Amino acid sequence: MVSDPVLPGPGGDPDIFRLYSRVGHSKIAAGWPSGMDMSGVSFDDRMNATLVSRRHVVMAAHFKRKVGAKVVFHDRQGKYLERRLVQVSKVHGDVAVGLLDEPVPGGYRVYPLPAATTDPAILVGRPVVVTDQHRRLFFHKVGRAGFGGISFEFDVEDKHGWGKKLVSGDSGNPSFLIVGRELVLVETHSTGGPGAGPYYGDAVLQENLKTVMAAMDPDFTFRTIRVN
């Protein structure tokens, strides 16, 4: 079983960026979020997009960007990178996938998914890194997990000092498990409150995602990592 990560202590600023630009280089905040690599998350639009291959992004199907939309990433030094969506397709449940006009280069994080498991409920109680539309990070914990989806709870013990009530506009923002040095994409928001959405370790979701990604560009696919 994977042990819980060592998380930062209470307090501090949850902002990922000290200065954010949708059209140029940005400045990364110096606080604890700088230890979390968000270079594979496109925060330039409330319709968030997250890299699962060097050429594919996932989004909430009910809040997805359209073909032709700009997708902006910033690396760990704040360097600006722009791509365009050339295809968008619904995958399964509240998951859509988009194809970028060009692959992203090294230096921009591509997030693995949880390896499909017969017992996702083992994740209950694990801390998760939750993002929002204002480019901030929070810690919640897994409340329920099943093949159909995953939902979070606020940390009532307040061990880490951060929590966010998700609201309209946060849809599609990703949540991650911390596994060793990896941030593993576990969910994209479908509902508010502590957050809930599709579970990216679901074998059915992964099979559909693999099929749609291959139809868009068979040279790229997602990778998985064990989380339990």
Rg, C-alpha atoms of the chain = 16
Do 67 and 86 contact (CB within 8 A), yes or no?
A: yes
Q: How far apart are CA 49 and CA 41, in angstroms?
A: 6
Considering 52, 83, 110, which residue would you say is the last residue of a domain? 110
**135 and 192 in a common domain:** yes
**35 and 87 in a common domain:** yes
Percent of the chain with pLDDT over 90: 81
Considering 110, 140, 163, which residue would you say is the last residue of a domain? 110
How many structural domains comprise the chain? 2
Do 128 and 142 contact (CB within 8 A), yes or no?
A: yes
Tens of pLDDT, residues 57-73: 999 999 999 999 999 99
**130 and 52 in a common domain:** no
At residue 62, what are phi and psi to the nearest 5 degrees? -85, 0
- Asked if residue 27 belongs to a domain, the reply is yes
Residues pairing with 178 in the sheet: 183
- Asked if residue 31 belongs to a domain, the reply is yes
Give the domain CATH number at 92: 2.40.10.10
What's the helix, strand, coil split of the chain in %, to 5?
A: 10, 35, 55
Do 73 and 42 contact (CB within 8 A), yes or no?
A: yes
For every one of its 228 residues, what pLDDT tens digit does the chain have, with 9 covering 90 and above?
444 555 666 567 889 999 999 999 999 998 888 989 999 999 999 999 999 999 999 999 999 999 999 999 999 999 999 999 999 999 999 999 999 999 999 999 999 999 997 688 899 999 999 999 999 999 999 999 988 899 999 976 655 557 889 999 999 999 999 998 899 999 999 999 999 999 999 999 999 999 999 999 999 999 999 997
**98 and 35 in a common domain:** yes
- Asked if residue 29 belongs to a domain, the reply is yes
Do 167 and 192 contact (CB within 8 A), yes or no?
A: yes
Q: What's at 14, amino acid-wise? A: P
**171 and 95 in a common domain:** no
**122 and 85 in a common domain:** no
- Asked if residue 8 belongs to a domain, the reply is no
Q: How far apart are CA 181 and CA 150, in angstroms?
A: 22
**117 and 106 in a common domain:** no
Q: How far apart are CA 219 and CA 225, in angstroms?
A: 20
**127 and 99 in a common domain:** no
Helix (H) or strand (E) run with residue 41 in it: strand 41-42
Do 110 and 221 contact (CB within 8 A), yes or no?
A: no
At residue 213, what are phi and psi to the nearest 5 degrees? -60, -40
**155 and 138 in a common domain:** yes
**52 and 65 in a common domain:** yes
Considering 76, 110, 144, which residue would you say is the last residue of a domain? 110
- Asked if residue 53 belongs to a domain, the reply is yes
pLDDT at 3: 47
- Asked if residue 9 belongs to a domain, the reply is no
Domain span holding position 178: 113-197
**Predicted TM-score of the model (pTM):** 0.93
- Residue 135 in tokens: 């480019």
C-alpha closest to that of 117 among 27, 34, 200: 200
Do 89 and 59 contact (CB within 8 A), yes or no?
A: no
